[in-house]
Structure 1
Amino acid sequence: MIDLLERWVPTQAEFDAFTEVSGDDNAIHVDPDFCATTAFGRTVSHGMLIYSNLWGMLKRYDPKIAQGSQSMMFPNPAFAGAALSLRIVEERARYLQMRVTREADGAECLIGEAEIAC
């Protein structure tokens, strides 16, 4: 049974580095001046950066684990400097439930499931 929990405080430097490797240079991730004019008021993490941190947590737990499929939603933004709780729980064989929540208010930033390949 897998039950993992980690804390992560994303940084603007991580957003910028992920922009470089992903090519996703949307201003909402990298331009604090632009973001100040939006409803968010500050830069927002790439969804796949959040997922990458979850997957990294899982790979540290079991380096041989492989993903078969995934599904996820990003109902609320994750901000630079705002602490997140990352959690992975195996609720049934080969299926992992994933949740990322903002510590400040409990808002879910990622809700998902991954199937582990055999």
Structure 2
Amino acid sequence: MIRAGWTPTLDDFRAFARLSGDDNPIHTDPAYAATHPFGRPVCHGMLIHARLWALGQGAGLAGRVVELMFPNPAHAGDPLVLTLARDGTATLAEARRQDGTPVCLARWDAAP
């Protein structure tokens, strides 16, 4: 198992918005986000997955994404725990808040 910590920042959200073109203000504008149910900017799900993917690439574990979901939001300043674990020929990749709440769950098959 591989485990790493990461605390996303609002600057991370804004940089990813510029890179991806997903400039929805729910990710980048605290005043706008405050008027919505989450109450503050939420991390792009694909930014979280990209962090997991980079961790997997560095460990030789990334493959083809088979399953991917974002069951809960992550916010700027919330420390996340990233883990990668082998499951047969697949890799299970997870990002969770420190209390264990999942924010990104992925299953990658071995690359062909």
Instruction: Report the TM range for the smaller structure's normalisation.
Output: over 0.9
Q: Percent identity?
A: 38
Question: CA deviation digits over 1:5-31, x for unaligned, max 9?
Answer: 100000011100000110001111011
1:102 equivalenced with 2:100 (yes/no)? no
When the two chains are superposed, the root-mean-square deviation of aligned CA atoms in Å is: 1.3
2 CA distance for matches of 1:68 and 1:41? Answer: 34
Which among 87, 109, 112 is matched to residue 106 of structure 2? 112
After TM superposition, give the deviation of residue 67 of structure 1 in Å: 2.3
Compute the TM-score of the two structures, normalised by the length of structure 2. 0.93
2 CA distance for matches of 1:84 and 1:69? Answer: 21
Question: CA deviation digits over 1:44-64, x for unaligned, max 9?
Answer: 0000000000011112223xx
| Corresponding residue SS for 1:90 | strand
Question: CA deviation digits over 1:51-81, x for unaligned, max 9?
Answer: 000011112223xx65233321101000000
Gapped runs of 5+ residues in structure 1?
none
2 CA distance for matches of 1:47 and 1:115? Answer: 20
Gapped runs of 5+ residues in structure 2?
none
Structure 1 stretches (4+) deviating beyond 6 angstroms? none
Alignment of 1:1-118 (within 5 A): 3-62=1-60, 67-93=63-89, 95-103=90-98, 105-118=99-112
- Count of aligned positions: 112
Compute the TM-score of the two structures, normalised by the length of structure 1. 0.88
2 CA distance for matches of 1:67 and 1:28? Answer: 30
| AA of the residue aligned to 1:6 | A
